[in-house]
Structure 1
Amino acid sequence: MKSDVADASRPSAGLAQWAATRREIERSRYWISPKGRRTRWRKAIFNRLLAILALGLRLTPFHARGLRNALDVRRTELELAVPGLPPSFDGYRLLHVSDTHLDVFPEIAEVAHRLLDGVEVDLLVVTGDVHGDQQAPVERSTGLLARALRGVRVRGHRVAILGNHDPIDMVGALEAIGFEVLVNRTVTVERGRHRLGLTGLDDVHNFYSAAAHAALRDAQGEFRIALVHSAEMADHAAAAGFALYLAGHSHGGQICLPGGRPLVTQLTRCRHAAVGLWRQGSMLGYTSRGLGVSPPPVRFNCRGEVALITLRTAP
């Protein structure tokens, strides 16, 4: 009887074609999401405003408070009754980590280690944006990630996908610390006679391509989980028959109004799925608030998190 065995094949030609398409977008004057092309000037203005905000915060007591808030990471534990979950996967436990950006705020790595030391899971999933500072080497980000997760005991697979901040060479850097990187492809986990498909997409917020749709359409497994950096493919995944969708990207807003209402979600579509638990048709979804932060490295009314999710068969 097989247990947690995955088909790890990856056509090299497909990976090369993906890399060529991604480089073309990186060198262009636009980003691409499922909604279509958008020019980069709005993002440039937004980043400039963030820089001004960061400078202003440093001159106030709110900066120190925001730093403390960013270090106040929580461990969210959920039990999800998911329709269609095969009986042999009842109790299947996964750790969902997203938007670590540890090169931006390295101190969070030790906070995460203390939260997760000794935790045992069947599956470890990282849903993108391991990197933060585009001028820093990706190995710094992956090294800090390895430190943060060093106490986690994983019985099965360690899988990761790329986010909009992760360059192409993040694939090799993540593989070097033991992750299997899913770029528009599916791996299948087997328990007894049942199969669970994990489909990971490249980032669709900035680097969407037709390959993302094809990966959802061609996914195998009687029970399928979509791993996508942002929630912007939620409706497409639901239409393709996925049961669960795990995402990040929004940081939960990072700087929110009282009550946790995000000021900015950074989503071009499916904004109802910006944070926490949500539903798209019959599909369940969870959007992580993220472990780390983007500059400015502060949080207000929005705690960072790692999520321990236990899957249960629906009654």
Structure 2
Amino acid sequence: MNNKMNRRSFLKRMLGGAISLLGLSGGSYYYAKYMEPSMLSVQEEKIISSNIPPQLEGLRVLQFSDTHLGFHYDITQFERLVHHINKQQCDLLLFTGDLFDAPNEASFEMLEQAASLLDSITAPLGKFWIYGNHDHGGYGTDLIATYMEKGGFTLLQNQHKTLTYNGEEFIVSGLDDVMLGKPDISRALPPQAAHTFTMLLCHEPDYVEHIKGEPFDIQLSGHSHGGQIQIPFLGHMVTPPYAKQYVEGWHTIRSNQSLYVSRGLGTTRLPYRFLCKPEFTVHTLTAQKQDG
């Protein structure tokens, strides 16, 4: 079975690569490199759960991810993103990792500009973030933490925060990056998570398979970029480790536990997006009505 799967995966990559090279020539190439990566889309989604109490109904949570500043994503694009984020007037802001593509290569000016723009984002219940693999990479761990703090963001590195909305408590938890960090779910989730609505931030979506028995209601992830290049009938062409099984959108993990994977905003490895527009997401909490 494994040999068959490996052969199938290999053939898919080879065929996908050939089609990509042929299909992304001429006008398609120009579209994928220069047009679609700038086609910012705003996804409106509902987080529906029976664990959401009526007091949390209507809470708006904005998730953005994977800007990869410096790799074909510049400060002008980031400024436009921040403008659109503020237009949403959300209650809570969550960043699910990978601010810069190579933090150690970023100029002081770009780091300062990014922090200033992050600081201009407003969210009454706070702004929280987690490490992605690129944030830890390139000796960026402390550097990114410094500039995210300047931007008014609170790091959740195997930590949690209990927040209150309309008099009702809920929990936002965050894991350290799976690939280059040391995720510890036992530290990230407090005991009260078992009976309190809990959102878990984890950069790599596939890690949900290792922690799906833990008491959280939804995992919000990025990392995948939605595959960046999507070819009809072949699917996602560029999927990194820990984003092979869950690549974009909604997934039901258990009866009352779900995963949402953002396509993110920037690119990495290849400066293309094809049939995979960059996005940020506005999640509205919605209490699931009980039968009877």
> Structure 2-normalised TM-score?
0.79
Match of 2:246 in 1: 273
Unaligned stretches of 5+ residues in structure 2: 1-16
5 Å-filtered alignment, 1:114-263, equals 114-137=83-106, 140-141=110-111, 143-144=113-114, 146-147=116-117, 150=120, 152-166=121-135, 167-169=140-142, 170-191=144-165, 194-204=168-178, 206-209=179-182, 211-218=183-190, 220-221=192-193, 222-258=196-232, 261-263=235-237
Give secondary structure in 2 for the equivalent of 1:154. Answer: coil
Q: Is 1:292 aligned to residue 259 of structure 2?
A: no
Match of 1:7 in 2: none
| CA gap 1:182/1:229 in 2 versus in 1, 3 angstroms | same
The answer to whether the 8 A contact 1:71-1:111 is kept is: no
The answer to whether the 8 A contact 1:77-1:309 is kept is: yes
Looking at secondary structure, tell me which structure has more strand per residue. 1
Query: How many pairs align?
Result: 260
Identity %: 26
Give secondary structure in 2 for the equivalent of 1:285. Answer: strand
Unaligned stretches of 5+ residues in structure 1: 1-49
State the shift of 1:56 in Å: 11
| CA gap 1:119/1:64 in 2 versus in 1, 3 angstroms | same
Letter in 2 for 1:185: Q
Give secondary structure in 2 for the equivalent of 1:132. Answer: coil
* 1:53-101 Cα distance to aligned partner (Å, 9 max, x none): xx99999554432221100110111122122012211111011000011
Q: How far, CA to CA, are the matches of 1:217 and 1:199 in structure 2?
A: 6
Letter in 2 for 1:214: S
| CA gap 1:219/1:185 in 2 versus in 1, 3 angstroms | farther
Q: How far, CA to CA, are the matches of 2:272 and 2:185 in structure 1?
A: 35
Match of 1:65 in 2: 31
Q: Select which of 61, 70, 78 maps to 1:109.
A: 78
